[in-house]
Amino acid sequence: MKITKICCIGAGYVGGPTMSVIASQCPEIQVTVVDLSKERIDLWNHSDLDKLPVYEPGLKELVEKTRGKNLFFSTEIDKAIDEAEMIFISVNTPTKTYGKGKGQAADLKNIELCARNIAKVAKTNKIVVEKSTLPVRTASAIKSILDNTGNGVDFEILSNPEFLAEGTAIDDLLNADRVLIGGAETEKGQTAKDALAGIYQHWLPKDRILQTNVWSSELSKLVANAFLAQRVSSINSISALCEKTDANVAEVSRAIGYDSRIGAKFLNSSVGFGGSCFQKDILNLVYIAQSYGLQEVADYWEQVIIMNDYQKRRFAENIVTTLYNTVSGKKIVFYGWAFKKDTNDTRESAAIYVADALLDEKAEIVIYDPKVPESQVYEDLDYLGTRSPEENRRLLKVVNDPLKASEEAHAIAILTEWDEFKNYDWKIIYDKMLKPAFVFDGRRLLEKDTMQEIGFEYYKIGQS
Ligand code: UDX
Ligand code: ADP
């Protein structure tokens, strides 16, 4: 089956970069990315490529190369659905904030809306690809909506979970470890899986494209993220022990990572993992396990999140304790707000929760992040609902100049591992700060000896 037109519903962190890569690698396929948000689509179409709504290294070059040729961004959702043979659903599926499964289950409202829309519009057979992370068995829900409300059109549903990490999305897509395609074990299902595999084969070797049944594919996505998050929580639990015992968590990571069975990656201790996926996917896994009566399985995975919350809380508490048990009225500067470097995404960023804890203690916080705008910082804090928007704006300021921010500061906390923080002249920063000048390094970015030689009281996660 030959695919000539693709529609992707959802122009976000997943849809935008993924479709840019597909368009750049498959010049004969016309790719249209659609979204309900006109504002977002306008940004994707902006003549200034620095205004794209998603920041990813290498993304703007791909958009520049393909936009208007075989990559289009549009709000004409129905038209794009109608024309495409293959439709990717790449909308957000946040954790439910209401009703059954509140705080755990994924909210599938957007997915269902997409399915109903596809059913309404489609006049020819379609392959529908789930890209968003979804609970196991969502494909059958989509299929049921499509089959029962469609116009007698044949739909094949595939699960093709996204494994890209933000900040390295383009490289992850171009050099994927594997692509996973789940679909029905029928002749039509096989044809659909092969059609999708054919797209990825434009740039990936065949043996990296795995085909499974649809449930295995959906579950594998949750499990991959749960295992990755578990590694971070595991090493973070050890960081607390290192701080008490004079062991150094970096040395422990290195020592265990040399064991090829364990492997060296994803063992960097930090202030805690963030991002839109890890917590959401584990909560999903916990919810699914619970709903099948597997309480021990649910408890096992929930502990990964409990440890992550502990790490963020521990970091904030250490700041308060070290600053003589009070931060009330003290200026604390955060370097970094994004959940990791090289992205402007702040979803579930540890910085949000550390700030919230310190604001409870009446600290005056100043934020500098090279990519996150002021409006996003306030939106993140307001979303928690801990205090009024006015109070958040009174106690917390966002600035553009990291050096100026350090003037008269009691402490600096490093929340994101942006490379530029390593290259600052920390002597100048030291001179501007109140003394003793404290630095709390939640990303293990700086060298302890150098910082102490300058005169800082320097605290690094996982090291006494
Ligand atoms: C993750 C998965 O890696 C990706 O495969 C999936 O598709 C989406 O979820 P992402 O959340 O974008 O990607 O970033 P990732 O690099 O996995 O980092 C997640 C969080 O863990 C970040 O806050 C990061 O700082 C933290 N982390 C990661 C650590 O604290 N230590 C590590 O060693 C690795
Ligand atoms: P992700 O990280 O999963 O890509 P984002 O929030 O970055 O999540 O992007 C999801 C996009 O999907 C948003 O731009 C949102 O406007 C869009 N969206 C959500 N529901 C629909 C829908 N029913 N139809 C079209 N677009 C939608």
Q: Which residues line ligand 1 (CB under 6 A)?
A: 162-166, 225, 228, 232, 266-268, 270, 273-275, 277-278, 339-340
Q: How far is CA 232 from CA 265, 278, 304, 319, 462, in A?
A: 10, 10, 9, 22, 13
Task: State in Å: Cα 275 to ligand 1 middle.
Answer: 7
Distance, CA of 426 to CA of 431 (rounded, Å): 9
pLDDT at 48 > cutoff 90: yes
pLDDT tens digits for range 235-292? 999 999 999 999 999 999 999 999 999 999 999 999 999 998 999 999 999 999 999 9
DSSP state of 385: T
The structure tokens listed for 359 are 């604001």
Domains of the chain: residue spans and CATH:
5-212 (3.40.50.720), 221-464 (3.40.50.720)
Catalytic residue among 8, 26, 242, 277: 277
Angstrom distance (rounded) from CA 138 to CA 141: 5
Nearest atom (ligand 2) to Cα of 15: 4
Q: Is the dihedral of CA 418, 420, 426, 430 positive or negative?
A: negative
Cβ contact 346:337 at 8 Å: yes
**Could you give the CA distance from residue 133 to residue 106 in angstroms, rounded to a whole number?**
9
Find the ligand nearest to 270 CA.
Answer: 1
Rounded to an integer, the average pLDDT of 4-26 is 97
> Is 20's pLDDT higher than 80?
yes
Task: For residues 80-100, give the mean pLDDT.
Answer: 92
Kindly report, residue by residue over 115-160, the tens digit of the pLDDT: 999 999 999 999 999 997 777 778 888 888 888 877 789 999 999 9
Distance 91 CA to ligand 2 centre (A): 4
- Listed in sequence order, the residues at least 6 apart from 380 whose beta carbon sits closer than 8 Å to its beta carbon are 337, 346, 349, 352
Burial of 261 (0-12, 13-18, 19+ CB in 10 A): exposed
* SS3 sequence of 219-230: HHHHHHHHHHHH
The answer to whether 33 and 66 are in contact (CB under 8 A) is no
Residue 242 annotated to the active site = no
| 11 known member of a binding site | yes
Strands, E, within 329-395: which ranges? 331-335, 364-368
Tokens read off for 340 = 């990791």
